[in-house]
Structure 1
Amino acid sequence: MPEPVVDVRGLAKTYDGREVVREVTICARPGDLLGLVGANGGGKTTTLRMLAGLVAPDAGAGFVLGHAVRSGRVDRQRIGYMNQRLALYPELTVTENLRFHARMHGLPARMVDQSIERYGLDEVASRRFTHLSGGWARRAQFAASVIHAPDLLLLDEPTAGLDVVTRLALWDWMTQIAAAGSAVIVSTHDLTEAEQLPQIMLYHDGLAGAQTTPATLIAAAGAPTLEAAVLAEARR
């Protein structure tokens, strides 16, 4: 069995005296696709930011890509992080944004063309990012986040507010990236989508549940769907 890409225990983070997330324990190996599910404000984004090295945990231990999670050391060349907010340069075209990311990772120019083709961006390649619709902007941001084939891909609500075609395309690409050997951790509040994932963690009021499968959670709640199971858990 391959060594974990992420192996952390008991991570917690406090802001202004309020513990926003606690008891985060994750083991993700190459090829894993893990969903962090739950309502907005439940701690999913903070978890992703801790794993990406953007926020320092206040408690806990473990490793991300071989570095102690509380050491401040991060291997950014091996991590892809997609923020929920659109984060590419607005005045650059899609191609220029991808070229910037390729250069940042020391990649040859051909990777930009390959990325545009793979993620269906030909139609908007010469458009400025600020002029893109939400769906095209998400595609472009996803392409920039994965252009360097990261060993760990962290995605924060990547399909929120998207049309069904783009949403399904993004899930398909995530699945392909995991199948190719990356560990993919994605946050979502869409429980219909989350029910299709191989592994999930349920967040409620900042408390992270253990890794499990949607089927296990549904069976434990005696519910017909993941949405019904989560509602039952929230009422306890």
Structure 2
Amino acid sequence: MSMADPLVAVSGLAKSYAGRAVVAGVTMTVNAGEIVGLVGANGGGKTTTLRMIAGLLRADAGSGTVLGQPIGTADTQQRRQIGYMGQKIALYPDLTVIETLRFHAAVHGLARPGQAIDGALDRYGIGRVARQRCGTLSGGWARRVQFAATALAEPRLLLLDEPTAGLDVATRRDIWRWMEEFARAGHGVVISTHDLSEAEHCPSILLYHGGTARAQATPRAIAEAEGAVSLEAAVLSIADRAAA
């Protein structure tokens, strides 16, 4: 793929479990240097969408490409260019922070692992807990370490599932700063969130409701389409209409 091609260009993605549609007809484009938000209530299909893009789930329907390859056909080399961070903390509790980073450096076959790890300890402010076992970290520190591990190999596409949920203000601010730095460096970032104040910071979003997603647009455009003064007001309007 060329530098001008979208990192993600998918159409009509759908996934069902036991005959129940979880995601239906999701269409999305992510270009280099963009942050795209998947916005909606928990259980609305955001995580399933992220996992299909990451290659962790196979879509039942839909087509398109992720990093230039047909969705669902990623090889090992392509997967190394995708950083996926799930909502749940996924760190080995008996490993120290620095051991965790060494493990991820080895998995990605980094040419200069020591340099990458030293850079991550500094960039993500986790040097002070480098020798601490991950199982003893607080939620905020664990999330910082998980972000550092996910981003260690500088993936071209960063997929983050509710990365700031339940975190303190300082850690939330830092995670957003790191995402924006990734975008400015030409990487693509997709973040799922149910926090509408966060969604307002995304240049474009997909608004999920009941497993379907509205066409990708700016938060302002979605609000204006609903005749609402804000994204929050638009979401409430949509929810009220669906419940009527």
68-77 vs 225-234, which moves further: 68-77
8 Å CA contact 1:32, 1:182 repeated in 2: yes
Alignment partner, residue 212 of structure 1: 217
SS in 2 for 1:25: strand
2:19 corresponds to: 17
Give the number of equivalent residue pairs.
Answer: 236
Asked if structure 1 preserves the Cα contact closer than 8 Å seen for 2:41 and 2:194, the reply is yes
Aligned partner of 2:96 in structure 1 is 93
Structure 2 partner of 1:80: 83
Which residue in the other structure is 2:198 paired with?
Answer: 193
Instruction: After superposition, give the CA deviation of every residue in 1:187-219 in whole Å (9 maximum; x if it has no partner).
Output: 000001111111110000100111100111111
**Residue in structure 1 matched with residue 188 of structure 2 by the alignment:** 183
AA of the residue aligned to 2:118: D
- Give deviations 1:152-180, integer Å, cap 9, x for gaps: 10000000000000001101110110110
Do residues 59 (structure 1) and 36 (structure 2) align? no
Return the offset for 1:34.
Answer: 0.1
Determine the C-alpha separation between the residues in 1 that align with 2:74 and 2:220: 37
Report the identity percentage.
58
Is residue 167 of structure 1 aligned with residue 172 of structure 2?
Answer: yes
8 Å CA contact 1:155, 1:185 repeated in 2: yes
SS in 2 for 1:202: strand
TM-score normalised per structure 2:
0.94
SS in 2 for 1:95: helix
CA distance in 1, matches of 2:137, 2:25: 39
Q: What amino acid is aligned across from residue 123 of structure 1 in structure 2?
A: R
Quote the offset at 1:38 in angstroms: 0.2
Contact 2:55 2:73 (C-alpha < 8 Å) held by counterparts: no
Pairing partner for 2:35 from 7, 30, 33: 33
Match of residue 221 from structure 1: 226
SS of 2:148 mapped into structure 1: helix
Task: Check whether the contact 1:67–1:73 (CA below 8 A) recurs between aligned residues.
Answer: no
1:43 aligned to which of 39, 42, 45: 45
CA distance in structure 2 between the partners assigned to 1:70 and 1:80 by the alignment: 16
Which deviations, in whole Å up to 9, do the C-alpha atoms of 1:23-73 show, x marking residues without a partner? 111111111100000000000000000000000000001111121114364
Between the aligned partners of 2:53 and 2:119, the Cα distance in structure 1 is 28
- The answer as to whether partners of 1:53 and 1:73 remain within 8 angstroms in 2 is no
Partners in 2 of 1:217 and 1:189 — Cα distance? 16
Matched residue SS, 1:235: helix
1:103 is aligned, of 106, 111, 120, to: 106
Counterpart CA distance in 1 for 2:185 and 2:75 is: 26
Question: 2:68 & 2:201 partners in 1: Cα distance?
Answer: 30
Q: Secondary structure of 2:80's match?
A: helix
Cα 1:73–1:234 shift into 2, 3 Å: farther
Q: Distance in 2 between matches of 1:52 and 1:98?
A: 21
Residues 1:105 and 1:71: Cα distance change in structure 2 (over 3 Å): closer
Residues 1:117 and 2:122 are matched in the alignment:
yes
SS of residue in 2 equivalent to 1:127: coil
**Structure 1 gap ranges (5+):** none
- Per mean C-alpha deviation after superposition, the further-off stretch among 19-28 and 35-44 is 19-28
Deviation of the 1:224 alpha carbon: 2.4
How far is 1:122 from its partner? 1.3
